[in-house]
Chain A
Amino acid sequence: MSFELGSDPELDLNAVLLIFINGVIQEPGSHYQFGGGTSFNFVTAPKKEDNISVFFYRGTRGTDSVSVEIIETIKEGDELQLMQFDNVVTQNRRSIAGIVTSDLVETNLYAGQGVSDSVSRPFDWYKQKVDKFINNNFVYKTRPSIEPHVYPTARIIGDVSSSTGEIFVDNAQFFNYEENESSIVIDAVDALIVNGGSSDPVAAAITATVGTGGTISALTITSGGSGYVGSAVTISLSAPKTIGVGVGTTASATIPVVNGALNGTANITNPGFGYNASNPPLVLSPTPNPTFENITSIDIVQGGAGIVTGITTVIGTGGQGTLGLKFFLNAASNAQYSNFANGYPIFISDTIVGRGVTSINNSQNDAVVGVGTTFVDNIYIVRNFSASAANAEFVADILSTTASSSEIPATGFVTCGRFSWGRLAGISRSSSPISIGVTGLTFSGLSTYPTIQRRTFGHRDSGALRNDLG
């Protein structure tokens, strides 16, 4: 933590700081000196066992004060070496003993060669390679910049419209890791949604033919690629060797898209000229952009997980003639069902009965939610939910043709599956919100479902889990 002033010369840090030692307020200027940065200089050194409290009045956050996450480069224990410049010779290396402010470091005392207080000089920076003992403290060579980023990530299991403020996922608890594991309060997090990615589009390979006069006479598709969208793609050709008036111009063309691949006859919109038939231009066929959205201000994170202790067939919520599955759940505590509600999607996995059922949404004209393929693993829409302490149950509507009571006996097992659910809400959408449809997909695991990954909070403000919970 470093306190630093803005550019207003009237700002006075001492006016917004209160320091107590063992409950006794300290007077700035008399008991301590502070001009900003990371340390206070007390007139009388506090004792090791003293209880020191520092209060900083921030005023209106974002207006009177801002907190900035510094992406650290240089750290305590690194070495600096001032280099030769303007006839001042190179110094020996010095160890950094402290980071005073965001642009000032303190090193060991130095009385060697190359000292000058009038010449600004370049310096070399050497990262710490061994653990050190500096100012009575161990300074390890660990570096925040190379600490692993562990990202909370989930699969989206409910449709996302361009205007929705909530997203349902298979597991959301990890998005709230710091709050779940410590006293840290998370006001809100951001997230990146990516749709697709299980199979990348493949760029088409195209060759150009240069005809008489140095113009493009044909474009040959040697491989149509995949993943293209729209009716045609504008391709790019490299420029002729020489560009200029009366010398050469770059050709352009479009190629039809058929079933996601480039196919058919190219429409050469400009044949260019100045090309060489023995060295024809290269052709670039751009593939579609990833479908993604950065969403912000997720301030509601809900979810839970546990085991399925029983599964049985029941009459669906549509009444006689409809079919449903009743799931019995058990979790570590009823907190796993906190805020869980009818109409939410839930992910059921690792089941051991049935042979693939199609789940439907009774409130949407029996629209298919997921076409299951293995046992009764699937995404279901929750109906008739009730919970009692660590146990709960709900009914999910299914297509009556995809299950029978003989395959799904009414008796349960200690563990006959797992459940999880998650809801991220309070979301602010981006200026280009995307829509994602997941209902109706054939369900064979979630690997083809869209992904959401936490951003902005945590380690280096990246969205990864904090590496300290203190």
Chain B
Amino acid sequence: MAAIVTDQFRILNAENFVNSVTNTSNAYYVFVGLANPTASGFGKSSTWDTNTPSPIDNFEYQGFVSDNMSFGRKVTSSNVRRVVRRINWVQGTRYEMYRQDYSINSLSPVSKSARLYDANYYVMNSEFKVYTCIDNGSSGISTTGNASLDEPTFTDLEPSKPGVSGDGYVWKFLFSVAPSDVIKFDSTEYITLPNDWETTTNAQIAAVRDNGDSTVNENQLKKIYIDERGAGYSQGTHELDILGDGTGGKAILDVDALGRITSASVSSGGKNYSYAMVDLGSINSNSTTKAKLIPIIPPSKGHGHNIYHELGAERVLLYARFDDSTKDFPIDTTISQIGIVKNPTSVGSTAVFTDNQYSSMGAIKFSTTSGTLAIGDVLSQSVTGGTAKGFVFSYDTETKVAKYVQDRSLFLNQTSFDQTDYVGVTTSARVYEFASNTNAVTSDGGFSGTVDTAFTGVSTNPTGSKVISLGVNFANGVATPEINKGSGDIIYIDNRPAISRNSRQKEDVKIILEF
């Protein structure tokens, strides 16, 4: 009964998720929906905006979410990133140095963290550059180190001092957040890491990564921590071997007149160390107090070789922008649910839908109309066998296209919105599709329209001057959703106060997943 799941397992899960998203045989979409959350109905609430109900994790609720799904945006490889907790460099702050041995028995000295990834050992500067703290001036005498005075701004391959204040800090540059990633992924809580660190050919990342490969460059060790400086050691400057399970490491020590080790630096980093100790045998014959020097073992093969392990990338951020760039994203609708669905299938098929965006609403193009349609109105049409019903989620007066969903709220018992029997259940509980016929489509708000049965295709030209793409294919005036309802795995649901869309409004959605 002494087993743990390591932090590396969580990092692996995050990596696997990113790989799954970027795998071209998969298709992940951020979707939005539920345009009428305050209406009466299954899963809805009149106080939705002020007391938003929590989503329920069961198949029934996922069905309800599918019922009300409006449209989705594909998450491409450029829209998914691993992220880590954001630590901004702020002058005067005491940061911690990277160490391999933080634990409940050896808490980090400033934040008192029991694990490396909770310690404040890396920073992002004001230019979106990220650094690991190799040295903060700490030692066994001053375990918390110094306040950082000089902002690191350099872009070097080797760990460097950031300025001339003498604050004792040495930082290792890791990467710069790309400008295109700043708007997409920047948040006050997280730092965005580049994708494909291990394999990318980006020259800047490759240089940092390959420079951190100590098996090639023999530059693994960067820092020796003086936990106990000892006494009685041979005075002078000495270059000594670094022993352990690696090879090639050498340290340069300065010993003062009292035989105390006053400084220790790495002159040769060596390789393959998982533990190390400095060979003091040649200078300790007269030592009266034993020194304790701790060579810091970098993550992976060296600092910068694998930033996911170095920084603890156990979270993933997905980004999606909904704007007015396509008629699939109507600007007159309302959003009160956001989610992620994996591998929905194309309507009428079992093949995974792979387009950049989809509409999951049905659509009717009218030839003539009277009255107005509002979001949440109930559309009805007599069709063979009964009456088709749907909630209006959008109506474009320019193209005369109404988009609707056939939510279960229209078909369950209209008082309890559950399976309680009711008068007329035989006809009213049956789901019929809207049809291309001459029967009027009416709404409970007084609208009436005739289906444009002559219209087939994906684009229209209502003014004769400009072709407008409708986003979905119409057949004789009606269009089905582009994905099969209920298809795919809904892996994330959020209920939120309604967001009314409008022209030029951009909803930049950033979803954090924790592993």
Binding site for B on A (CB under 8 A): 71, 122, 131, 138, 140-142, 145-154, 170-171, 173-174, 177, 181-182, 192, 194, 196-206, 223, 225, 236-239, 241-244, 247, 250, 279, 281-287, 289-292, 305-306, 347, 349, 351-353, 375, 413-416, 418-420, 451, 453, 455-456, 460-470
Contact = CB atoms under 8 A, between A and B. Distances in A.
B323 to A, nearest CB: 9
Interface string B499-515: 11011111111111110
A465 B499 contact: yes
Given A145-B514, A194-B183, A241-B268, A375 B466 contact: yes
B207 A284 contact: yes
Q: What DSSP secondary structure best describes chain A's contact surface? A: loop
Given A181-B500, A239-B158, A148 B511 contact: yes
Contacts of B179: 194, 196-197, 200-201, 290-291
B506 A154 contact: yes
B503 A418 contact: yes
A216 to B, nearest CB: 13
A467 B217 contact: no
- Chain A CB count within 10 A is highest, among B52, B202, B210, B398, for B398
Interface in B194-244: 202-208, 210-211, 216-219, 239
B203 A223 contact: yes
B433 interface: no
B176 interface: yes
Given A146-B512, A149-B509, A150-B509, A170 B504 contact: yes
A290 B465 contact: no
B475 interface: no
B498 interface: yes
Interface stretch (B54-62, B254-262, B408-416, B424-432): B54-62
A291 B183 CA distance: 12
Contact of B182 (A238, A292, A413, A466): A292
B486 to A, nearest CB: 22
A236 B186 contact: no
B440 interface: no
A287 B204 contact: yes
Contact of B50 (A225, A419, A453, A468): A468
Given A238-B158, A284-B155, A418-B503, A192 B186 contact: yes
Nearest to B320: A148
A205 B200 CA distance: 13
Interface secondary structure of B, over-half rule:
mixed
A75 B159 CA distance: 40
The 3 A-B residue pairs with the shortest CB-CB distance in the complex, in nearest-first order: A286-B155, A470-B50, A140-B54
Contact of A420 (B218, B398, B503, B508): B503
Interface of B: 49-52, 54-57, 104, 114, 127-129, 155-158, 176-180, 182-183, 186-189, 202-208, 210-211, 216-219, 239, 250, 252, 267-269, 321, 338, 397-398, 463, 465-466, 494, 496-500, 502-514
B408 to A, nearest CB: 21
Looking at B176, B250, B506, the one whose CB has the most chain A CB atoms below 10 A away is B506
A181 B338 CA distance: 18
25 contacts: A145-B512, A146-B513, A148-B512, A149-B187, A149-B509, A150-B338, A150-B496, A181-B497, A181-B500, A192-B186, A194-B182, A197-B179, A198-B180, A238-B157, A243-B267, A244-B252, A282-B210, A284-B208, A285-B204, A289-B129, A305-B502, A414-B398, A419-B503, A456-B188, A467-B497
Contact of B494 (A148, A173, A237): A148
A283 B504 contact: no
Given A414-B398, A460-B189, A238 B502 contact: no
Contacts of B55: 140, 142
A205 B206 CA distance: 9
A257 to B, nearest CB: 15
Given A352-B466, A467-B52, 8 more contacts: A131-B56, A150-B509, A154-B506, A173-B505, A199-B180, A239-B157, A287-B204, A416-B463
Given A347-B504, A455-B188, A462-B187, A244 B239 contact: yes
